[in-house]
């Protein structure tokens, strides 16, 4: 059975961390508060999933709000579609490549 190559956005080459990536990761790790980690470790898996879903919802809401500021003709549903699918992002990337 032939295996599907998958979506076209998959990398053909392995991702390699360069010095910039390492600095960004080190900076992010330095900002982690040990007290927050202690609290997170006490949460159940369900509570962690609920927290992650809440953060995703908040990020989507911000994205929709900002997109509708730029593109006022979009309905809320259309803006959610664009944010969730990344269609606007892919169009912007294609524009920049030209």
| Mean pLDDT in residue range 47-57 | 96
Burial (CB count <10 Å: 0-12, 13-18, 19+), residue 64: buried
Does residue 29 surpass a pLDDT of 50? yes
- Record the pTM: 0.57
Does residue 6 surpass a pLDDT of 50? no
Retrieve residue 67's tokens: 């997109």
How many CB atoms lie under 10 A from the CB of residue 83? Answer: 21
């Amino acid at each position: 059975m032939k295996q599907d190559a998958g979506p076209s956005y998959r990398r053909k080459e392995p991702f390699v961390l360069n010095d910039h990536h390492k600095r960004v990761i080190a900076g992010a790790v330095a900002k982690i508060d040990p007290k927050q980690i202690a609290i997170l470790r006490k949460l159940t898996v369900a509570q962690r999933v609920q927290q992650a879903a809440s953060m995703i919802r908040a990020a989507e809401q911000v994205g929709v709000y900002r997109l509708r500021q730029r593109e006022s003709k979009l309905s809320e549903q259309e803006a959610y579609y664009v944010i969730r699918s990344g269609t606007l992002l892919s169009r912007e990337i294609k524009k920049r490549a030209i």
